Amino acid sequence: MVEKSFHIGQTEGTYTALANIFISSDDFSKSRNSKQFLKALISTLKLAVPLIEANSGRVIKVSANGISVAFERNAEDALICGISICQQANALADINDGFSVSVGITYGKVFISDVVCGSYSTIVAVSEALELCSVLSSACRKADASILITSNLADHIIGFKNRFASRKIGLIHSSAENKTYTLYDVFDGDSAEKKYSKRRSGLLFETGVEHFLEDRPLQARSCFIELLKYDRSDKIAKRYIQLCDKSISGGSEKTYPKYLTTI
Write the DSSP symbol of residue 1: -
Domain boundaries, the chain: 7-188, 191-263
* pLDDT tens track for 158-200: 999 999 999 999 988 887 788 889 999 999 999 888 999 999 9
Q: Which residues does the chain have with pLDDT short of 50?
A: 1-7, 9-11, 254-257, 262-263
Q: What is the pTM of this model?
A: 0.87
pLDDT of residue 7: 45
Q: How many CB atoms lie within 10 A of CB 175?
A: 10
pLDDT of residue 63: 86
pLDDT of residue 158: 95
**Gap between the Cα atoms of 238 and 244, Å rounded:** 10
Amino acid letter for position 137? S
Beta bridge partners of 138: none
**7-188, what's its fold?**
Alpha-Beta Plaits (3.30.70)
* pLDDT tens track for 100-121: 899 999 998 888 887 887 777 7
User: Of 90, 110, 97, 122, whose CA–CA distance to 195 is shortest?
Assistant: 90
pLDDT of residue 3: 46
The CA angle 253-262-255, to the nearest 5 degrees, is 20
